Amino acid sequence: MTFPESAAALDDGAVAKLLQVQRLRDRALAGHGRRTAEVAVAIGGAMHADIETLDLLYLAGQLHDIGKLAVTESTLWKPAGLNHTEWREIRTHPEEGHRLVADVVHRDVAAAVLYHHERIDRNGYPYGIDAGTTPLVARIVSVADAFDVMTAGRPYQTAVPIRAAVEEIERCSGTQFDPDVAAGLRKVMVTRGDPRLTPAAPIAGRLEAVPEEIPAPVPAAAAPRAVPAPERAPGGGTVVELSDRAYGPPDPSPADPFERSPSMIRLRRSG
């Protein structure tokens, strides 16, 4: 038997195990996390985040719903809308997830797990605080989660086209979402279309013709690689689940510095 040589190695091992458990219990949930991480990194790149923040975003996207391991399977996998009792159970997952990760991940990642359902207007959960006071990583993951939920759909909810999802997030900016993050998502959609490397079961379509006033797309090699969103909120939002398909990281791109980041390297090794 071998043992970790440092506290950092031990923490990395704990995170890898949590992700493995999530995959084994619910591949759809794991897939949603992967896609949310991809979207979060794409938004971070559009907002000119540094490589360390992109790394945190990728890990936070994958872990944001880890607290759903504490939710009963009958509620988590229910093929229809949730009743009041089931919805209350689902709403415990941010705090349950925070308890799992708080001592093994960066504090901004832990904050994203805890606060990704908070809103700017204080009508979110679990605490009803102003999401504008939470770390940027948490605010970006919140938007990425909502985007993937809306565009992937669920057995009881039809997926919406990418353009419609972006417009809905923009409509809710300033009340539910950070306006700067919503603008970052719009920039990603205009320049790249779907930011996810791992598409959801039905691909929800691409943006139609881009309005003339929007700048022309940047070259694909210049755009930062994206990484993976959400659940049904009281206001009627949506949540996404992943299809049962392989989701190993893509081959590294020399033009993309994120491919050399700790999270991507760690995930590529774990497959």
Identify whether 74 is part of a domain: yes
Identify whether 156 is part of a domain: yes
CATH of the domain at 95: 1.10.3210.10
Identify whether 32 is part of a domain: yes
CA angle 229, 70, 15 (to 5 degrees): 65
DSSP state of 133: G
CA distance 197 to 199: 6
Residue 207: band (very low, low, confident or very high) from pLDDT cuts 50, 70, 90: very low
- The pLDDT mean for the chain works out to 75
The per-residue pLDDT for range 73-116, each reduced to its tens digit, is 888 888 777 888 989 999 999 999 999 999 999 999 999 999 99
- Buried b / exposed e along 139-177 (16+ C-beta atoms within 10 A): bbbbbbbbbbbbbbbbeebebbebbebbebbeebbeebb
CA distance 192 to 187: 8
Identify whether 193 is part of a domain: yes
Identify whether 135 is part of a domain: yes
CA distance 18 to 118: 23
Backbone angles phi, psi at 82, to 5 degrees: -90, 145
Residue 200 has pLDDT above 90, yes or no: no
CA distance 156 to 252: 36
Query: Looking at the annotation, which residues are catalytic?
Result: 68
Which residue's entry shows tokens 């995930």?
A: 267
DSSP string spanning 38-106?
Answer: HHHHHHHHHTT--HHHHHHHHHHHHHTTGGGGGS-HHHHT-SS---HHHHHHHTTHHHHHHHHHTTTS-
Number of structural domains the chain divides into: 1
Residue-number span of the structural domain to which 219 is assigned: 7-266
Identify whether 2 is part of a domain: no
Residue 9: band (very low, low, confident or very high) from pLDDT cuts 50, 70, 90: low
pTM over 0.85: no
Stretch 107-127: mean pLDDT, rounded? 96
If we measure between CA atoms, which residue out of 26, 113, 114 comes closest to residue 72? 26
Identify whether 271 is part of a domain: no
Identify whether 1 is part of a domain: no
The per-residue pLDDT for range 182-198, each reduced to its tens digit, is 999 999 988 887 777 65
